[in-house]
Amino acid sequence: MKGIKDQIKTYRCLNCGWTSLFSETESMPDHCPNCLSGIHVEDEEENECGGILEPVGIWVRTEKEWEIVQRCQFCGEMRTVPVTEKDNRIKILSIASKPISSPPFPVERIEELTRIMGGSGDTGGKQK
């Protein structure tokens, strides 16, 4: 069947099952507005990953610029994506309110995280 269906793209979250339709002209979200997870398409070396990027924290750059810190459940790579207007505010706040003293990611990843965030959080570790 050809027709209008061809102009509609479907976004389906592999984590929570949230689905939404997007027209050809709209850009697909890089993360799920409902659970804030994304799909790790490829890593830094451009190897395919396919793991689920789970939200592990919220980074407040400025009052208006919030970013979701995501970690790939499969390979452990971290990245940040900007919060969008469509994102679930309650989910964002619940992640943001997690106590920083018990980070939901391995301690050895903190250096990597601070590097992503601009590198001012030197923990005194070795350089790569």
Binding site for Zn ion (CB under 5 A): 13, 15-16, 18, 32, 34-35, 40, 49, 51, 72, 74-75, 77
CB of 42 to Zn ion, least distance (A): 8
- Cβ atoms 68, 91 nearer than 8 A: no
**Is the CB of 51 or the CB of 57 nearer to Zn ion?**
51
CB of 102 to Zn ion, least distance (A): 23
**Is the CB of 13 or the CB of 113 nearer to Zn ion?**
13
Helix (H, G, I), strand (E, B) or coil at 67: strand
Q: CA-CA distance, 19 to 32, in Å (whole number)?
A: 9
CB of 120 to Zn ion, least distance (A): 26
Distances (CA, A) of 80 to 6, 17, 59, 106, 112: 31, 22, 8, 17, 12
**Is the CB of 37 or the CB of 111 nearer to Zn ion?**
37
